[in-house]
């Protein structure tokens, strides 16, 4: 059973919140973020405003999975993560 876009946003928010609180992320988490974002970008029920933010999240995850120091990478993007999670809270 496929997840609807609300469930996908919830999972995405959970992963980003975990990155924010733990300052750590795995390659598989970044890959999961990419898959979720790609699915959401292809969903007509997701607003254009949300899609712009999703593109930023996709770039974050794409670069993050290649990062040699996940903790530092996440620390460098703490403000972005906070903004994205806050926006997802507002959308849900």
Domain ranges of the chain: 5-91
> pLDDT tens, 44-53?
999 898 999 9
Largest interatomic CA distance in the chain: 37
Q: How far apart are CA 23 and CA 44, in angstroms?
A: 32
Instruction: Output the pLDDT for position 90.
Output: 85
* Mean pLDDT within 42-66: 94
Angle at 83 between CA 79 and CA 86, to 5 degrees: 135
Euclidean distance between the first and final Cα of the chain, in Å?
Answer: 21
> pLDDT tens, 19-38?
999 999 999 999 999 999 99
Predicted confidence band of residue 1 (pLDDT cuts 50, 70, 90): low
Task: Output DSSP code: residue 77.
Answer: T
Task: Output DSSP code: residue 87.
Answer: H
Q: How far apart are CA 34 and CA 65, in angstroms?
A: 10
- Model-level pTM? 0.93
């Amino acid at each position: 059973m496929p997840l609807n876009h609300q469930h996908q946003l919830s999972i995405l928010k959970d992963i980003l919140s975990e990155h924010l609180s733990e300052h750590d992320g795995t390659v598989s988490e970044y890959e999961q973020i990419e898959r979720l974002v790609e699915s959401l970008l292809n969903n007509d029920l997701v607003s254009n405003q949300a899609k712009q933010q999703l593109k930023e999240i996709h770039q974050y995850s794409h670069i993050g999975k290649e990062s040699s120091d996940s903790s530092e990478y996440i620390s460098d993007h703490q403000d972005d993560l906070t903004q994205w999670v806050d926006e997802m809270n507002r959308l849900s």
